[in-house]
Amino acid sequence: MPPPTLADVIFSEQANHNFSRILGDLKRSNLSITNRLRSIQQDAKFVQEVAETLRLPLVANERCGSWYIDPSLKTASSYFKSTDGHTSQWKFSTRRLNLHLLELIGKQDGCIIVDSTRRGKRMPDALSKTIPIWCCVLNRALFPDNSSLHTLFVPPNAVSNSEKSQMEARIPEFLDSFKALNINLEPLRQHLQKPLRPLWVTQEDLLSSGPVQQVAQYSHPVVCCTSSRRVVGAEISEGGYIQGAGDDTENWALGLTAPIFWRHHERLFSTPEPELPELIQYLLDSSDPGGEATPENTKVAPHLFAGSLSALEPSLALGACVVTLGSKATKPNKWVQSPLHMDVGLGKSKVASRNLRQALPEICDFAHKYIARSSESLSNKRVVVLCETGKDLSVGVALALYCWIFDASGDVWPEKGRGEFTKTSIRVRLGQIMTAMPNANPSRATLQSINSWLMDWRKY
């Protein structure tokens, strides 16, 4: 038998192309919707075990965390961003203060905040750095005279000593930005008997309540739970398991949300992969769109309320001035429905946030005329702003109205007496709204539209 030639040993271009295609197909099949949902269910069992062992309430760090918590076990939501914990980009968010957690932590002597992260990482930056910064800043703000409580704690297996030192150097700056919001700290102090102390739990750790019980003697434990098992290397070798399967849902979930998944998970698991897109669309079409919305309007500032569209009829019945923000774009000449109702069609998502900038002059003028009418007492007046979720556009418009209608003393601005708005003055008002409505989650695009219009309102 003749020895193999070079052509026999080296694969042809066609063979290489076929291998690449096969590997791509294998990767796509491994990252199927079914594998993602089963991975989520598997990780959710670990989260439930953590809650049962530590006997602390579960808090979902949105949006990803909600996928890993059965809604019947979910106590609250938080909004800690991983980008606020990226190396050299550390930040204490004055937009997402998460102050509503303090009451829960005080009453339950701690909580478990759930999140996950992508393949290869030990834990998400939101848990390893953003939450530790939050705990440290609040400890310094609420216990200013006890320097022993001002330590920054980070997980040593995820954050180096060098990075920790750099983070600590920024804490005074973050504390100043929090103080600049002029939030009344006394009610917050009443929630906590002890300082906050972050702890970390992953699937690699030996699960025990001992460390938490030890910490709870002198601090309120804030347990940062990474739900997903760490995968080092290619996930194709993990038998269908996907680390951080609940992340980046816009790229794979076809619109499926965590509440709908948990409501119909058995049906989803029993459906073949090729039929899942059709089933998901059916579930989306048949689900109550208001199921994930804020159920009623909330007072966010004097005379100003924000909520979801489900509160429209009750608000009109009370004689309030109502501004509804619809997901279907409409022309401005059709917005005013009556002297007390303005229905502004902005569109969806980022398009709505961009259109909002052009709509704000008319919205603010409509609400200001109602507030400024002398025929009624100001104490009896209320402006209600409603959007689909009750958490984004309605909150942004309420912020714009709060700045536009009322001065720093709470008096109504004269028609042409408004001064210059600054990022700082707007941020202070936003902090007050977020404290009153902690589940609000105005998007960056919405807030950019608000800031842009308020700071340049004379141009419009």
pLDDT per residue over 441-459, tens digit each?
A: 888 899 999 999 998 866 5
Relative to beta strand 321-326, strand 383-387 is parallel
pLDDT tens-place string over residues 351-360: 888 889 999 9
Tally of domains within the chain: 3
Residue from 273, 285, 313, 282 nearest 297 by CA: 313
| Averages of pLDDT over each 10 residues, the chain, 460 residues | 62 55 48 90 96 96 92 93 93 91 96 90 94 97 93 94 96 95 91 95 88 92 95 69 87 90 94 92 76 67 90 85 92 92 89 89 92 78 91 93 86 74 89 86 90 78
Structure tokens at 201: 């739990």
Residues 275 and 330 in one domain: no
Q: Percentage of the chain with pLDDT > 70? A: 88
Residues 261 and 134 in one domain: no
Residues 338 and 429 in one domain: yes
233: Cβ contacts below 8 Å, ≥ 6 apart = none
Q: Given this model, what pLDDT does residue 9 score?
A: 57
Q: Given this model, what pLDDT does residue 97 score?
A: 92
Residues 407 and 297 in one domain: yes
Residues 316 and 283 in one domain: no
Taking residue 420's Cβ as centre, other Cβ atoms within 10 Å add up to: 9
Residues 321 and 271 in one domain: no
Q: What is the DSSP string of 272-318?
A: -GGGHHHHHHHHHHHS-GGGGS-SS-EEEETTEEEEEGGGHHHHHHT
Residues 238 and 268 in one domain: no
Structure tokens at 196: 């906050």
As separate numbers, helices (DSSP H) first and strands (DSSP E) second, the chain gives: 17, 11
Residues 331 and 418 in one domain: yes
Q: What's the start-to-end Cα distance of the chain, in Å?
A: 87
Residues 174 and 235 in one domain: yes
CA 131/CA 80 separation, integer angstroms: 7
CA 285/CA 280 separation, integer angstroms: 9
CA 58/CA 154 separation, integer angstroms: 21
Residue 232's H or E segment, with its range, is none
CA 188/CA 197 separation, integer angstroms: 16
CA 269/CA 246 separation, integer angstroms: 16
pLDDT tens-place string over residues 374-411: 667 788 889 999 998 898 999 999 999 999 998 877 78
Residues 38 and 159 in one domain: yes
Residue 179's H or E segment, with its range, is helix 161-179
Residues 142 and 224 in one domain: yes
Provide the whole-model pTM. Answer: 0.83
Q: What is the CATH number of the domain that holds 423?
A: 3.90.190.10
433: Cβ contacts below 8 Å, ≥ 6 apart = 300, 301, 306, 395, 398, 399, 402, 440
